[in-house]
Amino acid sequence: MLTDIEIARAARPRPIGQIGAALGVPEDALIPYGRDKAKIDRTFLADLETSGRADGALVLVTAMSPTPAGEGKTTTTVGLGDALSRIGKHTAICLREPSLGPCFGMKGGAAGGGYAQVIPMEAINLHFTGDFHAITSAHNLLAALIDNHIYWRRTPRLDPRHLTWRRVMDMNDRSLRQIASGLGGNGVVLETGFDITVASEVMAILCLARDLADLETRLARIRIGEDEDGVPVTAGDLGAAGAMAVLLADAVQPNLVQTLEGTPALIHGGPFANIAHGCNSVIATRAALRLADYVVTEAGFGADLGAEKFFDIKCRQADLTPAVAVVVATIRSLKMNGGVARDALGEENVEALIRGCANLGRHIANVRRFGVPVVVAVNHFSADTAAETAALEAFCASEGVEAVICRHWAEGGPGAEALARRVVAIVEDRSARFAPLYEDSVPLWGKIETVARTLYGAGRVTAEGGVKARLKRWGAAGFDALPVCMAKTQYSFSTDPSALGAPSGHELRVREVRLAAGAGFVVAICGDMMTMPGLPKYPAAQTIGLDSQGRIDGLF
């Protein structure tokens, strides 16, 4: 059997101009990055917004809680997109860009797998078109301007004790979580630290902005700290927004690539869903909706994180209305949620599968709370048995949803045609009655409690230190209308990553809150969640290199 990288290298991609033409993007609106990828020009996108074209149907792919056994959300997104194309639907796929941190850490790449991939896989998983580097540079430019502002004692006089803007890099590096800068007489000594680029507010701003002008406006709203009188100071107060926008002017344009089967894919932006809002860019999604009849997009990790933030943050800000949600599950992951060890997942265990279905059942119920119809995509593995498959289908039927067996990893689009037909039937039924989980008028702490109690099953929601006081102060300053972005472990509904299944009655502890005024949400950091990941004991970087022909080996 061929590996993912061998499959990708054997592909014969169509010239990117042909992919653009198939989507409805003329050649003069494409900015090529080689033969197999391009950016879509912002002028064309602006014309598209005012063209009066009706939006296509928006299909969200989400999943049960992730486990090391794998779920295959991106693979399913690609397979479903290819399958919709195969049954005659004009389709576009919208994905996030992978981060270098997981690629060289533990998770690996994020371009799909098997015969359901987006290509060029290696470029997408590495530097791609440089968007992440631009975001990192813009973020750190603001950090440098802040330090310089303090050094020259310019007005407004920033209070070094109340600075909130940290630095970022697109790599896992736990040693940089907390640092001291300015040592050796090189400026004012400050306690600060690094987050990973995907957690940057600049990343969130790029992904939520509607156009370049909106991007610059949002950059100017970034809160960086307070002056010596306790008055909030923004990036706009330091005159930083213009230069930051210059660094992002190309990055704000979405990237066009293709699947192995030639379905157009817009890959743009890359916030993680466990520490950020977990969706691709509004610009890419809105462009795809104007160009295609069906748009398949994904939200990161499980539905308690990615889907909730897609509904409550992205859809709210961008006026999007999803037509259907596909919840991806695997029999392997369900058995793991039912207590089976990873090395025993290949053995039939119907009882454990049924226990693990509690996790899937809560995700199904949670998505339905938003008024969005659900179908379950069962990402098939060769070790799945008939008895296990029948038990899963019976459970889903008892929940009032259909479980569709999918074999897109091994078969590509043909392996997901049954799922595509089910999605089309739901879309044509027009049964979606989408609404966010909470109203804008609910106070910030009330929004946190609503998510924790309603979606996570928490019994108590507690706050450390001055969290509640800070939220009240932000509410009084006019930020109560913002949604909340929960930073929480992806492995459990609780803050304990080992609590699998569907725990209830647990305590959700909010350790810290951060105001992302430019992005337009408040981040609630829960439990021990870190915004700068660390590398595992044996990182993937140690097995990545170049072969004798200079080709990348071990990336995926």
**Which positions are annotated as active-site residues?**
73, 75, 96, 107, 273, 301, 381, 409
First to last CA, the chain: 15
Please, which residues have CB within 8 angstroms of residue 223's CB and are 6 or more apart in sequence? Answer: 164, 232, 233, 234, 515, 517, 518
Nearest CA-CA partner of 263 in 402, 389, 9, 93: 93
Please, which residues have CB within 8 angstroms of residue 164's CB and are 6 or more apart in sequence? Answer: 223, 224, 225, 514, 515
What string of DSSP letters covers 379-408? Answer: E--TT--HHHHHHHHHHHHHTT--EEEE-H
Alpha helices in 126-257 (DSSP H): 131-151, 201-208, 212-220, 241-248
- The 3-state secondary structure of 297-323, one letter per residue: EEECCCHHHHHHHHHHHHHHHHCCCEE
| CA–CA distance, 228 with 455 (Å, rounded to integer) | 41
DSSP, collapsed to helix, strand or coil, labels residue 44 as helix
Q: Which residue has the tokens 């660390």?
A: 534
Query: Is the CB of residue 167 less than 8 Å from the CB of residue 192?
Result: yes
- Classify burial at 50, counting beta carbons within 10 Å of its beta carbon; exposed 0-12, middle 13-18, buried 19 or more: exposed
Strand residues in 260-360 grouped as ranges (E): 264-267, 294-298, 322-329
| CA–CA distance, 442 with 460 (Å, rounded to integer) | 18
Q: Estimate the crossing angle of helix 282-291 against helix 42-49, to 10 degrees.
A: 60
